[in-house]
Structure 1
Amino acid sequence: MKVKRIMSNTATSDIDKAAAFYGEILGLDLLMDHGWFRTYGSDEKMTVQLSFGTEGGSGTPVPDLSIEVDDIEAALARCEKANVPIEYGPVSEPWGVRRFYARDPFGKLVNILQHE
């Protein structure tokens, strides 16, 4: 048996909030819309990963979700324009990533990063 896909699910009473953060700010496509359940994603091929930690690095809390982007400065500018709270960074970390932490509309701590 092989794992083919891993999906993150977040319970909410207002799924429209996902469109602004994950669709407009991070540029993910709406892949499925049942009205009561929406899935955002991209056609990029990604490695399946699950991470577990006692901290998020540099003394930060473990984020709920990590999203790698190809342009960290554009992601940061979009967050700032949308008044999304930045809780950490942006910072270049000693392990070779530039990143920042932001809260999504559901209170999830999201680590947005780019490999340097």
Structure 2
Amino acid sequence: MKVKRIVANINTKDIAAAKTFYQDVLGLDLMMDHGWIRTYGSNEEMSVQISIASQGGSETPSPELSIEVDNADAALEGMKRAGFPIEYGPVDEPWGVRRFYVRDPFGKLINILAHKQG
């Protein structure tokens, strides 16, 4: 047996509210829409990971999702333009990532990060 996929499920009455955050700003594709559930994703190959944490690092709260992007600063500007509240950062962390925390439309704390080059 092997794990093929891990899917984060966020419960909400307003699934349409996800579009701006996950599709418009982060650029994910709408992969499935059954009316009661919408799945956003990418056809790019991604690592399957699950993290168990007592904090978010740098003594921050543990985020509910971490989303790695290729450019954290571009993601930050997109979030700001769309009006999503930034709660931490941007900051270059000592473990080699540039990141910030933002609240999605459902109040979930999201860690947006990019690995620093070099």
TM range (shorter): over 0.9
User: Who is 1:103 aligned against?
Assistant: 103
Segments of structure 1 that go 5 or more residues without pairing to the other structure are none
SS at match of 1:8: coil
Q: How far off its partner does 1:44 sit? A: 1.2
User: Who is 1:15 aligned against?
Assistant: 15
Q: How far off its partner does 1:24 sit? A: 0.5
Q: How far off its partner does 1:26 sit? A: 0.5
Deviations 1:41-80 (A, max 9, x none): 0011111100011110001001000000001111000000
Following superposition of structure 1 onto structure 2, how do residues 11-50 of structure 1 map, counting pairs within 5 Å? Answer: 11-50=11-50
Deviations 1:10-41 (A, max 9, x none): 11110011111000011100000001110000
2:64 is the alignment partner of 1:68: no
Segments of structure 2 that go 5 or more residues without pairing to the other structure are none
Distance 2:44 2:71 in 1: 15
Q: How far off its partner does 1:84 sit? A: 0.5
Identity value in percent:
66
User: Which ranges of 4 or more aligned residues in structure 1 deviate by more than 2 Å?
Assistant: none
SS at match of 1:78: helix
Q: How far off its partner does 1:92 sit? A: 0.1
TM-score between both structures, scaled by the size of structure 2: 0.97
Aligned residue-pair number: 116
Q: How large is the Cα RMSD of the aligned pairs?
A: 0.5
